[in-house]
Amino acid sequence: MDQMRCVFGIDVSRSSLNVAVVDNQNLVLEDKMALDLIGLTKLKELLDHYRDPEVIFEATGVYSRRLEHFLRQNEYHYVCLNPLAARIKMASFRPFKTDRNDARELAMVQAINPARFTYQEDRVYQNLRDLHRFYQNVTTDVARNKNRLHKLLQLTFPEIERVLSTTSGQLYWTLVNQYPHPGLVKASSHEMIVQVITKAKTGPINATSLAEKLISLAQTAYPAVDVDSLRLEETRYLATELMKKTELKAKLIGQMVELAQSLPEFRAIMSIPGIAETTAVGIIAEFGDIRRFKSSNAMNSYVGIGFNHYESGQYVQRDTISKRGNAIARKILYKTVLNCVSVAHYRPNHLADFYNERKRRSPQPQTKKIAIATMHRLIRTIHHLVKNDQLYDYQIAKRIH
């Protein structure tokens, strides 16, 4: 005789929980409670009333994180479904959607066709993921502020972008902050400009010649605003923000590396040619505990690079990747493949061999498609190294991949 099971289906919204309790496939209770300490205390009393209760809910971004944290803290078994999986599982139920119905349907789905409980990773993986998402947000802010600064400089002092070989870095932003207008350069002495550069430079830069170049560019500049324009204040603000955010990025990378170094997979992933610390922590942060994936195909699905295939009669659609997965991880893997190819001349690897061979054989090489095919091999390599606690070996990789 099947063991009786009690399932709590929970629909999570921004500030409330709709709860449906199914005991032995019979709906026995429905309730609504706040998503706060009072509501979760009430939920705990309900859960503790039953023996070995199971909880199922749909991931709703930051809102469901509070519920998941509560369940983990109290050591309850739970299933966290991604929205696509939830939609597929509940497709055969009633055609109209409400929060109350969703809770009831989730409970019945789990009672009739139980899904595996969500794998509970070590907390270090969640901390890494949170830091990495913070890092991604800061990186986006830096890119946005660079674009805004470039547009502003076209009004205030476009020639300053030619002072250095790059329009990035602490020295460049210090110069922009100090001299956002050619009039400010003309009003400063050569010695004062040299002093500013000397204080800000981080490498073997000739401060005197750089000051002379800046003064020369200021002499020929014709800005669209006057030296007392309020646009200069915005230019200084953006330059200062870029300096702060660049420092913050470096700090976040340091924190992530410090966390990741305690994990055995960090060393294994770092051993792959073309993968440095920032990439390695990004892969671990976005995939989490790689050992939970039964196969590299499961990792492919997680990241969304499995191919969709469609044919009907004489029509065959070109295969495309599903993109139903972790977009950040997909972007990291794509860049990693290109890095592996670029370092191959001094750090040979089977990924670059595969990529270059595909390119040679293709009459019209499509870099993106070949890179995606190489991503499959990269995932297989990462999965193998982590699962077997091995370091990358080119000769072995050529044989087994």
Catalogue all structural domains in the chain, each as residue range(s) with its CATH number: 6-112 (3.30.420.10), 126-257 (1.10.287.4070), 264-311+320-400 (no CATH)
Q: Find the helix or strand (DSSP H, E) in which 269 lies.
A: helix 264-270
Q: Which residue has the tokens 């966290």?
A: 80
pTM comes to 0.84
**Per-residue pLDDT, 61:** 85
**Per-residue pLDDT, 308:** 46
Is residue 68 within 8 A of residue 17, CB to CB? The reply is no
**Per-residue pLDDT, 322:** 56
CA 167 vs CA 158, 325, 328: distances in Å: 11, 34, 26
Q: What is the pLDDT along the chain (401 residues), one digit of tens a residue?
A: 345 789 999 999 999 999 999 998 899 999 999 999 999 999 999 999 999 999 999 998 889 999 999 999 999 999 998 877 777 777 665 556 677 888 999 999 899 888 889 988 899 999 999 999 999 999 999 999 999 999 999 999 999 999 999 999 999 999 999 999 999 999 999 999 999 999 887 677 789 999 999 999 999 999 999 999 999 999 999 999 999 999 999 999 999 999 999 999 999 999 999 999 999 999 999 999 999 999 999 999 889 876 543 344 443 335 455 566 789 999 999 999 999 999 999 999 999 999 999 988 887 767 888 998 999 999 999 999 999 999 999 999 887 76
Lookup: tokens for 294: 């039964």
CA 282 vs CA 125, 198, 252, 322: distances in Å: 11, 35, 12, 22
3-state secondary structure of 236: helix
Q: Other CB atoms closer than 10 Å to residue 147's CB: what's the count?
A: 11
Question: What spatial distance separates the first Cα and last Cα of the chain, rounded to whole Å?
Answer: 47
Nearest-angstrom CA–CA distance, 293 and 302: 9
